């Protein structure tokens, strides 16, 4: 069909009579549509911008925590006892993870998980974050990265490392996987060590990948270092000697505390059994106990020097005063207090040397209960040690107004009151520091405390001579003697209380002593809990004291003050009352 001669205006389709209002209506509708879009844009981008921006941020903007590096714990010489190292941790986004069975099987193997355990972690597909394994090794992290599993990521965290391991575990303590202190100094100074985490705002896509950094980063503030009075070398040596003694005597446990006699600074505090702070599988209750600070016991004959020293200080007796201990026992209120062997008449020095219960009781009963109670309180018995350490206990010392004569008698040789080994070592600074009690400290201080005078200097010096006699061949602790250094101290062997009665087969062997005896530099206390066979403090605890004192004084550069030939002492008990 030819189109020639036909104009557009003559086409029947185009030549339609359309009402003007319809075209105007269509134009108006289009204009209103554009106006609605403009109003909506104004509503979203201007009037309610904050609301919709917040909604967007909830979906895509994330705040990444920038962990702070935990402060170090140092010994007195700057040796690192605890530090943090960066390690990778593995996490996943279940909603976006590629669930290739073969890859997941390899991933589970690398993480040390079963397939069921891994699937359980990934079962909630609505989650955007789940930990798969915290603090993995670098080789494991690299192997997982090489798998290139979509939705599996790495994050850097800090893992706590403990250089001295179980030797210093009870002092340093440990943190949990979140790097929060759980025991020891880690717990006591958690706020200082922990620092403050930083923040980084980013945009993540649906796969959990960071696609944009929004800036405004808040940098982390690392924790501050904490320096202790502990000497890592003394700590290690003391722990090793204690471990050997506990095993040798098949004991349940043991503790040792080594303190600087001049400053009260604790150079070592060790317990056995112990634990490895880096291995959380062995963090059981029995191993965690810092027995030197948290466990109390009746100290036995280690209390006798305080009673005798008080009587000398009050002028009630003199060193040569004779005390009749025959026939080796004394009856009071239906109870019999006895010595292992009758000694007849002893002077005051011999009462300490032979560790006579009867002699000590007779001296104690010459004094009013208030005087005895005041001295015990001054040296720290019944008083919580002023150390920032969780679980430190006060022990037990009854008010003197309630004492009966039999109680004053038993307390004079260490029954009827209780103390920790830490408190007992602090109490013995009375003799080492010429009558001044020095509070023990675990934290490094610029100036040592002044201490509290509780006894005349000349009396404390005279008591040191008696303590030296107790470690002589005639005393109860010849095994405390140390090659090259003069020593003095007191043994204690106390029956363990089981319920309301004392065991006839369970004991604690204790020794607390000083060295060198003329000008003491060390106060050392040792406790062996429930040794089998030989149980006297002079046989179980005193040898530990000897080894620790000799090694520590050499490390301190203290010149020997006495030439002592090596001795061979048999394992047979001395038989002296402790």
Residue 445: predicted pLDDT: 82
Sign of CA dihedral 345, 350, 356, 360: positive
What is 232-277+287-555's CATH number, 3.30.565.10, 3.10.20.810, 3.90.400.10, 3.40.710.10? 3.40.710.10
Residue 1: predicted pLDDT: 47
Q: Which two tokens stand for residue 379?
A: 């040296």
- Out of 483-497, 511-525, 551-565, which region has the weakest mean confidence (pLDDT)? 551-565
How far is residue 102 from each of residues 58, 91, 395, 563, measured CA to CA in Å?
Answer: 34, 19, 61, 74
Residue range 415-422: mean pLDDT, rounded: 96
Residue 4: predicted pLDDT: 52
Is the pLDDT at 520 greater than 70? The verdict is: yes
Confidence tier at 571 by pLDDT (50, 70, 90): very low
Is the pLDDT at 576 greater than 50? The verdict is: no
Q: What's the CA gap between 406 and 411, in Å, rounded?
A: 9
Is the pLDDT at 225 greater than 90? The verdict is: yes
- Of the two residues 30 and 428, the one the predictor is more confident about is 428
Q: pTM for the complete prediction? A: 0.83
Question: Which pairing describes strands 226-227 and 73-74: parallel, antiparallel, or unpaired?
Answer: parallel
Residues labelled as active-site residues: 301
430 φ, ψ (degrees, to nearest 5)? -55, -45
Is the pLDDT at 556 greater than 60? The verdict is: yes
Residues 471/478, Cβ–Cβ less than 8 Å: yes
Q: What's the CA gap between 132 and 513, in Å, rounded?
A: 53
Confidence tier at 575 by pLDDT (50, 70, 90): very low
Is the pLDDT at 213 greater than 70? The verdict is: no
Is the pLDDT at 201 greater than 50? The verdict is: yes
As a whole number, the mean pLDDT across the chain is: 88
Q: What's the CA gap between 347 and 271, in Å, rounded?
A: 38
Residue 123: predicted pLDDT: 81
Is the pLDDT at 242 greater than 50? The verdict is: yes
Residue range 115-126: mean pLDDT, rounded: 81
In the chain, where are the structural domains located? 64-227, 232-277+287-555
Ranked by mean pLDDT, which of 65-69, 387-391, 483-487 comes out on top?
483-487
Residue 357: predicted pLDDT: 96
Q: What's the CA gap between 537 and 218, in Å, rounded?
A: 59
Residue range 376-404: mean pLDDT, rounded: 93
* Percentage of the chain exceeding pLDDT 90: 62
Ranked by mean pLDDT, which of 102-111, 129-138, 152-161, 254-263 comes out on top?
254-263
Residues 154/141, Cβ–Cβ less than 8 Å: yes
What is 64-227's CATH number, 3.90.1310.10, 1.10.340.30, 3.30.950.10, 3.90.320.10? 3.90.1310.10
Residue 16: predicted pLDDT: 59
Is the pLDDT at 206 greater than 80? The verdict is: no
Residue 570: predicted pLDDT: 47
Q: What's the CA gap between 75 and 59, in Å, rounded?
A: 48
pLDDT tens-digit series, residues 144-188 = 888 888 888 888 888 899 999 999 999 999 998 888 999 999 999
Residues 394/383, Cβ–Cβ less than 8 Å: yes
Is the pLDDT at 514 greater than 60? The verdict is: yes
Least Cα distance to 495 among 508, 482, 483 occurs for 508
Confidence tier at 210 by pLDDT (50, 70, 90): low
Is the pLDDT at 566 greater than 80? The verdict is: no
Q: What's the CA gap between 427 and 42, in Å, rounded?
A: 80
Least Cα distance to 324 among 308, 346, 305, 302 occurs for 346
Is the pLDDT at 45 greater than 90? The verdict is: no
Residue 207: predicted pLDDT: 54
Max alpha carbon distance in the chain (Å)? 157
- Out of 57-66, 81-90, 360-369, which region has the weakest mean confidence (pLDDT)? 57-66
């Amino acid at each position: 069909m030819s189109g020639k001669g036909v104009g557009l205006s003559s086409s029947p389709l185009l030549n339609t009579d359309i009402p003007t209002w319809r075209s105007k209506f269509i134009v108006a509708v289009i204009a209103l549509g554009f106006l609605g879009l403009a109003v909506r844009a104004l509503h979203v981008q201007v009037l309610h911008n904050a609301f919709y921006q917040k909604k967007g941020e909830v979906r895509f903007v994330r705040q990444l925590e920038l962990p702070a590096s935990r402060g170090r714990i140092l010994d007195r010489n700057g040796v690192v006892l605890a530090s943090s190292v960066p390690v990778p941790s593995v996490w996943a986004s279940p909603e976006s993870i590629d669930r290739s069975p073969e890859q997941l099987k390899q991933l589970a193997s690398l993480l040390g998980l079963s397939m069921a355990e891994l699937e359980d972690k990934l079962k909630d597909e609505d989650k955007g974050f789940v930990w798969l394994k915290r603090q993995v090794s670098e080789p494991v992290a690299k192997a997982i990265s090489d798998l290139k599993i979509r939705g599996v990521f790495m994050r850097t965290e800090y893992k706590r490392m403990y250089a001295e391991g179980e030797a210093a575990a009870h002092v340093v303590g440990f943190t949990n996987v979140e790097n929060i202190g759980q025991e020891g100094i880690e717990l006591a100074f958690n706020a200082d060590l922990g620092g403050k985490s930083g923040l980084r705002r980013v945009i993540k896509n649906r796969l959990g990948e960071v696609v944009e950094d929004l800036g405004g980063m808040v940098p982390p503030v690392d924790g501050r270092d904490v320096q202790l009075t502990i000497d890592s070398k003394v700590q290690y040596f003391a722990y090793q000697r204690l471990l050997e003694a506990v095993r040798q005597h098949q004991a349940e446990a043991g503790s040792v505390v080594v303190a600087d006699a001049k400053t009260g600074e604790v150079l070592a505090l060790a317990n056995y059994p112990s634990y490895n702070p880096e291995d959380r599988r062995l963090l059981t209750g029995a191993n965690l106990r810092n027995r030197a600070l948290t466990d109390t016991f009746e100290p036995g004959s280690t209390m006798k020097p305080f009673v005798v020293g008080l009587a000398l200080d009050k002028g009630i007796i003199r060193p040569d005063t004779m005390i009749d201990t025959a026939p080796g026992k004394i009856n009071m209120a239906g109870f019999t207090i006895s010595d292992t062997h009758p000694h007849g008449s002893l002077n005051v020095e011999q009462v300490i040397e032979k560790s006579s219960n009867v002699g000590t009781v007779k001296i104690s009963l010459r004094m009013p209960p208030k005087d005895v109670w005041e001295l015990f309180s001054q040296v720290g018995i019944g008083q919580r040690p002023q150390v920032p350490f969780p679980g430190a206990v006060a022990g037990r010392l009854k008010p003197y107004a309630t004492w009966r004569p039999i109680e004053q008698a038993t307390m004079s040789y260490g029954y009827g009151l209780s103390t920790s080994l830490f408190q007992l070592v602090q109490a013995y600074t009375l003799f080492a520091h010429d009558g001044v009690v020095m509070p023990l400290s675990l934290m490094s201080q610029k100036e040592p405390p002044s201490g509290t005078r509780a006894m005349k200097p000349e009396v404390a010096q005279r008591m040191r001579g008696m303590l030296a006699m107790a470690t002589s061949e005639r005393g109860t602790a010849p095994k405390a003697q140390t090659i090259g250094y003069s020593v003095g101290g007191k043994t204690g062997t106390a029956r363990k209380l089981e319920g309301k009665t004392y065991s006839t087969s369970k004991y604690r062997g204790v020794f607390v002593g000083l060295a060198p005896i003329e000008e003491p530099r060390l106060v050392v206390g040792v406790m062996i809990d429930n040794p089998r066979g030989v149980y006297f403090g002079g046989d179980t605890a005193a040898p530990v004291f000897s080894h620790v004192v000799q090694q520590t004084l050499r490390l301190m550069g203290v010149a020997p003050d006495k030439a002592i030939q090596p001795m061979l002492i048999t394992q047979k008990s001395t038989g002296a009352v402790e």
